Structure 1
Amino acid sequence: MLNSTLYYTMLTRDFSKSLATAASDTVAKRETAYYEANIGKVKSVDDLMKNQRLYAYVLKAYGLSDMAYAKGLIRKVLTSDVTDGASLANTLSGGRYKALAAAYNFSAKGAVGTISAEAQKTTKDNYVEQTLEANVGKQNDGAKMALYFKRIAPTVKSAYGILADKTLLGVVQTAFGLSASMSQQNIDVQAKTINALFKIGDLQNPAKLQKLIQRFTANYDAQHPMGVSMTPSSALEVSTPDISQSLLMSLANLKLGGS
């Protein structure tokens, strides 16, 4: 059994190699190749939205796969002025929409927006991280939540950013033993509760961020003691390459509470 603490540690011990493994995933590799070959042909919002494969790739990269059906909303986001604090991309919660609009800023960049090397690299990097998290989630939801928190939490500017994101909030609630029923409270009361537990600025400190994640995974494992059942071969597939095979085989057969 691998619990979320051990699984997360294995994945982040050499995170670049974990990402490389995710990038070599058959589907990820194929879709990224298609994106690279075709994104430069996109000259407008309509071009992007008519190409279902590109549209799906871009939305997944920015964590918006669940909103693929809402094409009217996505169109408005992609034509938003990201410099205007009152624009749709800036007012929607979670930061995902703003990131999408900033990368593919048709409002400001027009037809040349999609050929930006920076936008393409960011999109591909994001897609690989989303792929890694999705694959990890098939084995252990706690480890997936921890990876998501590691990626997104440093971008949060206030307690309201935590409250606006279901996964971020779930990590914080689990880490500090908060009841899910707190969501029924006044939003300002919820924000005050979070601010009393830790400083939002600490999320941008790697050491403090890591401690919070460790606190989360420990509590998550206490609440979900079954962990992840893995064969030695599946452990090898999801782990970082620098851990020896003999150790992985031992970890894959490890029982919680003892060897």
Structure 2
Amino acid sequence: MTYQPIVAGSGLVAWNFLQRTMDTQTQAFEASPEISRDLDYFAENIGNVETAEDLTSDRRLMTVVLGAYGLDDDINNTFFMNKILSEGSQADDALANRLADKRYLKLAEDFGFGDIGGPWHKVPGFVEDVQENFTTRQFEIAVGNQDDSLRLAMNAVRELEEIATSGSSDNAMWYTVMGSPPLRSVMETTFNLPSSFGTLDIDLQLETFRDRMDGITGDGEVSQFANEEVRDQIVQRYLLMSQISNTQTYSSNQIALTLLSY
């Protein structure tokens, strides 16, 4: 049985407890039989892969690969994932370049099937990087099974740092945030935006995100998240706003149930 993370309380209380016990809990999680078996299988068999089809036809390998990029739900989309991987990332018309969700582009870039000089999965250190990413994301999922707001907060800390230090332009960084479903969810909750916000014109969304961010931190750009203190600030606000939203929903439901009982 996979180790189940310990979540004490909710909101900021749970977040602070998780931060204090993170090293111990992640080590126990990685050592659990199910996770260690997946990691061992990946290390032993990824070297036999020569093509994208070799990879996508092996479900156990794909479990680790997709899990490492937060794409677990695509495990049964074999044709789609084969197209993503085989087309690579260098061609402008490659499928990964045409999708708003940049996790697919990151996957295609890292493996390099179809790219000049690729693939890269036999380069020293590649296996260890994928294993680490897999363990990190699977631990987040396990935490999320108990409190999804904590999962999103953990994901935000990791992804915001990666994007902020990517060297991309200011607009490109924001579009990457907006194209990541977990990060978008965190930002929309943090800024108290309605569920219909995503239907607005993309330029208006960008302007709104910038304005709301500037109002909180005094800086409207994603590059500020290279600073750990700023990441902590936005995550703490997200958890507070999420808790307020959940409390309001709970109160509304209680009122409705009370009225129905008469």
TM bracket, shorter-chain basis: 0.7 to 0.9
Aligned mates of 1:208, 1:79 — CA distance in 2: 38
Point out which structure has higher relative CO (alpha carbons under 8 A, 6+ apart): 1
Correspondence 1:201 to 2:249: no
Structure 1 residue 94 displacement after superposition: 2.6
Structure 1: distance between partners of 2:150 and 2:33 = 22
Could you tell me how far apart the structure 1 residues matched to 2:110 and 2:173 are? 23
Which amino acid in structure 2 is aligned with residue 95 of structure 1?
K
Q: Which amino acid aligns with 2:145?
A: K
- Counterpart selection for 2:197 from 164, 177, 182: 182
Alpha-carbon distance in structure 2 between the residues aligned to 1:142 and 1:19: 18
CA distance in 1, matches of 2:233, 2:121: 38
- Match for 1:211: what amino acid? Q
Cα separation, 2, equivalents of 1:116 and 1:80 = 20
1:104–1:119 Cα contact (<8 Å) kept: no
1:211 aligns with 2:233: yes
C-alpha separation in 2, matches of 1:94 and 1:19: 27
Match of 1:32 among 33, 39, 58: 39
Name stretches of at least 5 consecutive residues in structure 1 with no aligned partner. Answer: 227-259
CA deviation map 1:16-46 (0-9, x unaligned): 4343232123211111111111111112222
The answer to whether structure 1 residue 125 and structure 2 residue 147 are counterparts is: no
Contact 2:156 2:186 (C-alpha < 8 Å) held by counterparts? yes
Letter in 1 for 2:121: T
What is the distance in 2 between the residues matched to 1:99 and 1:63?
11
Structure 1 residue 225 displacement after superposition: 4.5
| Partner SS for 1:117 | coil
- State the distance in 2 between where 1:22 and 1:93 align: 32
CA apart distance, 1:53 = 0.6
Which residue is 1:168 aligned to? 183
- The one-letter code sitting in structure 1 at the alignment partner of 2:201 is N
Task: Quote the sequence identity (%).
Answer: 24
Structure 1 position 175, deviation (Å): 1.4
- Written as runs of structure 1 = structure 2, the 5 A alignment for 1:120-159 is 120-156=127-163, 157-159=172-174
1:109, CA displacement in angstroms? 4.4
- 2:78 is matched with which residue: 71, 82, 90? 71
Cα RMSD after superposing both structures: 2.2
Give matches, 1:67-106, under 5 Å.
67-106=74-113
Deviation of residue 133 (structure 1)? 0.8
Cα shift at 1:86: 4.4
- Cα displacement (A) at 1:52: 1.2
Q: Say yes or no: does 1:59 pair with 2:66.
A: yes
Give the direction of change, closer, same or farther, for the CA distance of 1:119–1:93 in structure 2 (3 Å limit): farther
| Separation of aligned partners in 1, 2:72 and 2:198 | 25
Call closer, same or farther: CA 1:124–1:174 in 2, change over 3 Å: same
* Contact 1:174/1:216 (8 A) holds in 2: yes
Task: Tell me, in whole angstroms, the C-alpha distance in 2 between the residues paired with 1:74 and 1:109.
Answer: 21
Shift of 1:15: 3.9
Q: Which residue does 1:235 correspond to in 2? A: none
Letter in 2 for 1:40: G
For 2:24 and 2:98, locate their aligned partners in 1 and report how far apart those are by CA, in whole Å.
36
User: Does residue 46 in structure 1 map to residue 53 in structure 2?
Assistant: yes
Find the aligned partners of 2:107 and 2:246 in 1 and give their Cα distance: 35
